Amino acid sequence: MTVTLALVKQQLRITHSDEDVLLAQYIASAKAWIERYTALNTEEAEVTDRFLSFGDYLTLTRGPFVELTGVSYLDTAGDPQTFADARFQDGRLYAPLTGWPLVQPYSTIEVTYLAGYDPYNPVPEELVQAQLLLIGHWYQNREAVAEGTFNELPLAVEALAGPFRLPTIA
């Protein structure tokens, strides 16, 4: 399930359409926040990650992984090359059975892949609820700080989205 304007209005008990533009902005912002926080795409999209070397494996930055589109690099002669037969497991791309190719020093390796949820692998309900809570928080607290209070991000949002966070490399 994705977060729609109708779902948000039901969550917030809004029956008018005066704030639909504002709510649409909240929906887009909550989606972006959840995607940044978890490193998961709530909709299937093409992603390109860049690496300086192959190493034992390449850790992809977005999930859930759907399909490898291709790996492009410059070979030792400086000619562009591509392949798509690398192996994927647990958020990592491993060398094809023939091993990683040799690359030109100081060049980048680009890995292009599809990542995200789709109708056959829907967004977990906890992430939908986290988005709804975040939108509700922003709707009720329209300024960064209200006089006499400090309204930070509700703990429930992080509690719902936290278990889905992908590991990050610092």
| Higher pLDDT among residues 161 and 100, named by residue | 100
User: Residues 6 or more apart from 66 whose CB is under 8 A from it?
Assistant: 44, 113, 114, 115, 116, 118
Q: Judge if 35 and 65 occupy the same domain.
A: no
Q: Is position 170 within any domain?
A: no
pLDDT tens figures, 31-53: 999 999 999 999 999 999 999 99
For position 162, what pLDDT does the model report? 77
For position 91, what pLDDT does the model report? 87
Nearest to 128 by CA among 154, 157, 152: 157
pLDDT tens figures, 131-141: 999 999 889 87
Q: Is the peptide bond before 64 cis (omega within 30 degrees of 0)?
A: yes
pLDDT-based confidence at 123, cuts 50/70/90?
Answer: very high
pLDDT-based confidence at 156, cuts 50/70/90?
Answer: confident
What do you get for the CA distance between the two ends of the chain, in Å?
32
Q: Is position 169 within any domain?
A: no
Residue 26, domain extent? 5-41+120-164
pLDDT mean across residues, the chain:
88
Percent of the chain with pLDDT over 70: 89
| Number of domains the chain contains | 2
- The answer to whether 68 touches 47, Cβ cutoff 8 Å, is no
User: Residues 6 or more apart from 6 whose CB is under 8 A from it?
Assistant: none
For position 157, what pLDDT does the model report? 76
Nearest to 166 by CA among 26, 15, 48, 36: 36
pLDDT-based confidence at 70, cuts 50/70/90?
Answer: very high
Between CA 65 and CA 67 the distance in angstroms is 6
Q: Judge if 49 and 110 occupy the same domain.
A: yes
Between CA 95 and CA 112 the distance in angstroms is 15
